Amino acid sequence: MKSPQRKPTISDVAREAQLALSTVSNALAGKRYVREETRAHVLAVAERLGYQASRVAQALRTGRSGAVGLLVADVSNPSMTDTVKGAETVLAKAGLMTLLCNTGGSEERQLDYMEMLLSRNVDGMILISQHVGPAVRKLLETVPHVLVQRRLPDGADYYVGSESRGAIESVLQHLTSLGHRRIAFVKGPVESSSASDRLAAFIDETRRRAIDVPADYIVAGDYSMQSGRSAAEKLLVLKNRPTAIVCTSDLTALGVLEYSEEAGLQVPDDLSVTGFDDISVVGLRRVGLTTVQQPRAEMGKKAAEVLAKLIEGKPVRQKNFELETRLVVRSTTGPAR
Amino acid sequence: MKSPQRKPTISDVAREAQLALSTVSNALAGKRYVREETRAHVLAVAERLGYQASRVAQALRTGRSGAVGLLVADVSNPSMTDTVKGAETVLAKAGLMTLLCNTGGSEERQLDYMEMLLSRNVDGMILISQHVGPAVRKLLETVPHVLVQRRLPDGADYYVGSESRGAIESVLQHLTSLGHRRIAFVKGPVESSSASDRLAAFIDETRRRAIDVPADYIVAGDYSMQSGRSAAEKLLVLKNRPTAIVCTSDLTALGVLEYSEEAGLQVPDDLSVTGFDDISVVGLRRVGLTTVQQPRAEMGKKAAEVLAKLIEGKPVRQKNFELETRLVVRSTTGPAR
DNA sequence: CTGAAAGCGCTTACAG
DNA sequence: CTGAAAGCGCTTACAG
């Protein structure tokens, strides 16, 4: 009579099957030469006892935990959430569990999490828009990892992002074709490489089109809705007010819209606004935001695919993956007055 | 000279500190009687070597993994995402890591995940809107757990939800005060206890107010935007068309709005619509959805708090937590014509 | 093809 | 207050 509480272990299976522990292990793993009958017998006994191998013991013995750390600034931010889901789904298929770490954008919390992950022997990490300073890199050296949306300029890491330059280019193409020449820009967080890519693209593209961008047309932001509001607040009091505002996140664009409409402006008659991401709600006709569609779920999936390969020791030749973006024109952009 | 690759283990610390392994372990754990000087010495050596205890080894030895499974149907669904974040944050503070499991609403995947979690010796589980059938309950028996938003009628589990009845009551109070008598209702998924709570409340409250609800005023839905669209499609062709549609999720309400406006109706002049959740975007003036605010983050936090206590073996007397909801009136509801 | 033994890195009685 | 030893549940050379 076994205690009903205790989970059966591999020894229980071995005893019940009248075989050595190692034979059971080999049979279960499907490795080495185990006679077909033996294996079948082992499997049957394991099944009957309801045996489930302890991943904890396996992890200790093999050094591989079958788990991956997923670090993200804010899981509840709609522009991250699909990436998280995409990554988790692919990881699960690859037999890897996801340890979710919501860092809130704090480097300290990020480092704490990373150490916890390392003490749990994670097989790898995915960092979505995380800090990549020296302390972080130090820890990353010891483990396979993929960076998403934020990287270091040296390009030494595996990186998945989206194509910034083409995106900004298509936004400017669209706005200038509507006659806009006074175009402002709301930046993303300074630490973010994708934010600086977009800014650089904006500067280059406006220059190329001989569009003059006064210094006060470029305002700070951090991808949040609130930063959109304050950006709008600053831009709309300018003497030579912009006729269009390019935002680098949908939430920011929504903040700009909200503030501008509260201030009595008509969109798009008085002001055109563009976003970045195409989060689900902005496609509603009530919102109708013109924006750059980013393949958010695909970015998560791609990052997970690359990481899974790295973990399995398969080579991944390409280091940088810049997925394609696409401009979606809706109703927040119109002809310049 | 140590290999730079290998992480230091407790033996390394013991050797370096010239002490027995067990003394180091005791010093680090802060347990038992270890002389202050000894402890200080151990700590210093551990620090110097950069020693981090292996959680994997600890988990195997103690049976406690310090990890918790968080099961959710869809992390990218804005009505779940704050709950996930709230739970993760509180768990992290309690020293528990979160294993994220995106089940996609499939009971099979849920069960697979649960077995994986069990094989990893998780200390507990939080199930957000998950299945709670016999197979699931069987597995739950072996581990502390808290259910969120969906429970079994027997009330045997710890449960965190939101107050459905008062919410529906306030919606009906609001609509009837605007003169609505033809009020339709879009249901949530049938397996969901909160969905059935809301339906029951709707039926009771309309009856109490002597409002007649024809059978075809109550239509199926699953909280998704798409189900809102199809619900609207069905409702708007009825001969005796409703003047108001009560939805049990914001996404559904957005779907209803979208379809109705495409069909040429004016909201709220031709039709009033209410939601449930108050996800962030519906508060924008462009959307302006009248809805029931649910304390989503708090639900996650509460669930995590309860679970953390259960794991620490502290008693939690209250089994059911129904957090308060609040009606937020915006611009999708108006007088019945 | 099968079995006996060591060991992954810890914690915890137990003895001193 | 400190140390020697067993054991958590596995996998993996190694020998047969």
| A38-42, A70-74, B1-5, B33-37: range with lowest mean pLDDT | B1-5
Taking only the tens place, the pLDDT of each residue in B204-230 is 999 999 999 999 999 999 999 999 999
Contact A121 B54 (CB under 8 A): yes
B233 class by beta-carbon count within 10 Å (0-12 exposed, 13-18 middle, 19+ buried): middle
Bond prior to B144 in cis (omega within 30° of 0):
no
How near does any CA of chain B get to the CA of A202, in Å?
27
The answer to whether A14 and A24 have CB atoms below 8 angstroms apart is yes
Strands A97-102 and B97-102: antiparallel
Q: Strand D: which bases are under 7 Å from protein Cβ? A: 1-13
Bridge partners for B218 per DSSP? B185
Return d(Cα B36, Cα A107) in angstroms, integer. Answer: 33
Residue B32 CB contacts under 8 Å (≥ 6 apart), including other chains: B26
Q: Do B56 and A60 touch (CB under 8 A)?
A: yes
* pLDDT for A4 beyond 60: no
> Which residues are paired to B291 by β-bridges?
B275, B328
Chain position carrying tokens 């709609």: A78
Place of tokens 């190329």: A208
* Among A55, A120, A284, beta carbon nearest to B119: A55
**What pLDDT shows up at residue B4?**
44
Query: Residue A97 carries which side chain, given as an amino acid letter?
Result: M
pLDDT digits (tens, 9 = 90+) for A51-60: 999 999 999 9
Comparing CB atoms, the residue among B59, B97, B102 nearest residue A85 is B102
pLDDT, tens digit, 9 for 90 and up, residues B34-74: 788 888 888 999 999 999 999 999 999 999 999 999 999 99
Concatenating the DSSP letter of every residue in B263-323 gives: TT--TTTT-EEEEEE--GGGGSTTT--EEEE--HHHHHHHHHHHHHHHHTT------EEEE
Are B327 and B171 in contact, with CB atoms under 8 Å apart? yes
Q: Tell me: the pLDDT tens digits for B78-134?
A: 999 999 999 999 999 999 999 999 999 999 999 999 999 999 999 999 999 999 999
C-alpha distance from B298 to closest chain A C-alpha (Å): 13
CA distance B144 to B94: 15
pLDDT at A5: 56
Helix (H, G, I), strand (E, B) or coil at B220: coil
Using CA atoms, how far apart are residues A36 and A31, in angstroms rounded to an integer? 12
Tokens in use for A218?
A: 């470029």
CB contact under 8 A, A102 and B92: yes
Q: Give the CA distances from residue A334 to residues A109, A180, A268, A289, A324, in Å, rounded to whole numbers and listed in that order.
A: 43, 9, 5, 11, 25
CA of A142 to C1' of C10 (A): 21
Q: What is the pLDDT of residue B16?
A: 85
Chain segment A237-260, per-residue pLDDT in tens: 999 999 999 999 999 999 999 999
> Distance between alpha carbon B53 and the CA centroid of its chain, in Å?
32
Helices A55-62/B107-119 angle, 10° precision: 50
To the nearest whole Å, the CA of B8 is away from the closest chain A CA by 11
Whose C1' is closest to the CA of A29: which nucleotide? D11
Q: What DSSP letter does each residue of A253-299 carry, written as one string?
A: HHHHHHHHHHTT--TTTT-EEEEEE--GGGGSTTT--EEEE--HHHH
**Residues by Cβ under 7 A, strand D:** A 6-7, 9-11, 21-22, 25-26, 28-29, 31, 51-54, 57-58, 60-62; B 19-23, 26, 32-36, 38, 57, 60-61
Is the pTM above the cut of 0.75? yes
Q: Which residue is nearest to nucleotide D8 (CA to C1')?
A: B61
Mean of all residue pLDDT scores within chain B: 93
| Residue B79 to residue B239: CA distance in whole angstroms | 33
Nearest to B121 among A56, A89, A102 (CB): A56
Contacts of B298 (CB under 8 A, 6+ apart): B86, B323
Phi–psi pair at A132, nearest 5 degrees: -135, 35
- Indicate the DSSP class of residue B245: E
Per-residue confidence (pLDDT) for residue B32, from 0 to 100: 63
- What's chain A's Rg over C-alpha atoms? 26
Two structure tokens written together for B102: 């995106």
Interface test with A, best of B51, B55, B257, B265 (most A CBs within 10 A): B55
- Percentages helix, strand, coil for chain B (3-state, rounded to 5) are 45, 15, 40
